[in-house]
Amino acid sequence: DGTKFGKTEDGNVWLDKSKTSPYKFYQYWLNSSDRDAERYIKIFTLLDQVRISTLIEKHNLQPHERLLQKTLAKEVTQMVHSYEDLEKAQKASNILFGKSTAEDLKKLDEESFLEVFEGVPKTEISNVDFENGIDMVNLLAGKTNFIKSNSESIRALRENSISINKTKVNDQYIVSKKDLIDNQYILLQRGKKNYFIIKIIN
């Protein structure tokens, strides 16, 4: 039956990856409170007592580093799923929280990409529009409405606050098929937290 395991804001957490993906499973453990992480690491991992005590001591010295949560998420995800699933979940998490490159983003498959950016506004643009490339101002204000006007788009680009697939771009940049993730997506970003997804359709 997939075995229901716990609950999150989005619903139940399952051991079956078709019901809870490895990425969401990993995030579930990563988001544990300090108190829960200390309890869970003793119950759900195969780490010995000495290792656990050392981890708890190190964690308490620098709780903001979330060593317990990271170790817990790593151990349980690898045990329930696989090392490959764990690696994918870690890369996806790094992308969302800023420690990643355009190359990391390009390596994501469609499922992982859509999961990481679940809930981000999206729009579709025809493949034909990308044949000769699209200038940034047109893309931001005209094609996507990610930014409300041309003048605001120009200002944002000159302030260096716009990224394509995690790489900063200026008002001279032309977006083309070389920018596509999984041959069909482009990730726009303004500042640290405003994301927008473009899907290219035939």
pTM for this one? 0.69
Whether 146 and 78 share a structural domain: no
55 part of a folded domain: yes
Last residue of a domain, one of 65, 99, 133: 99
Same-domain status, 93 and 145: no
Which is more confidently placed, 66 or 95? 66
Higher-scoring residue by pLDDT: 61, 110: 61
Tell which of 67, 99, 131 closes a domain.
99
Classify residue 154: in a domain, yes or no: yes
Token reading at 174 = 């032309």
Query: What CATH number does the domain containing 25 carry?
Result: 1.10.240.10
The answer to whether residue 4 scores a pLDDT higher than 70 is no
- CATH code, 151: 3.10.290.10
Q: Which two tokens stand for residue 21?
A: 């993906």
pLDDT of 99 > 90? The answer is no
Same domain, 69 and 132: no
pLDDT at 162: 96
pLDDT of 93 reads: 81
Q: Examine the domain organization and report whether 69 and 150 are in the same domain.
A: no
What is the share, in percent, of the chain residues with pLDDT greater than 70?
A: 94
- The rounded distance, in Å, linking the Cα atoms of 185 and 177 is 10
**Does 93 share its domain with 148?**
no
Does 81 share its domain with 128?
no
Supply the pLDDT for residue 3: 58
Report if residue 112 sits inside a domain.
no
Provide the residue range defining the domain that includes 86. Answer: 4-99
- Token pair 């990563």 is found at 30
Q: What is the pLDDT of residue 139?
A: 95
Strands (E), the chain: 4-8, 11-14, 122-126, 134-135, 162-164, 167-168, 174-175, 185-190, 194-201
Count of the separate structural domains present in the chain: 2
pLDDT tops 60 at residue 9: no
CA distance 15 to 80: 7
For residues 94 and 17, membership in a common domain is answered with yes
Residues 154-182: tens digit of each pLDDT: 999 999 999 999 899 999 999 998 999 88
How far apart CA 79 and CA 174 sit, in angstroms, is: 45
Is residue 8 in some structural domain? yes
Q: Which of 7-21, 46-60, 123-137 has the highest mean pLDDT?
A: 46-60
* End-of-domain residue from the set 45, 66, 99: 99
pLDDT tens-digit readout, 15-45? 888 888 888 899 899 999 999 999 999 999 9
Asked, for residue 195, whether it belongs to a domain, the answer is: yes
Does one domain contain both 91 and 11?
yes
Per the model's pLDDT, the better-predicted residue between 111 and 100 turns out to be 111
For position 109, what pLDDT does the model report?
A: 82
Summarize pLDDT for 58-94 with one digit per residue, the tens: 999 999 999 999 999 999 999 999 999 998 888 888 8
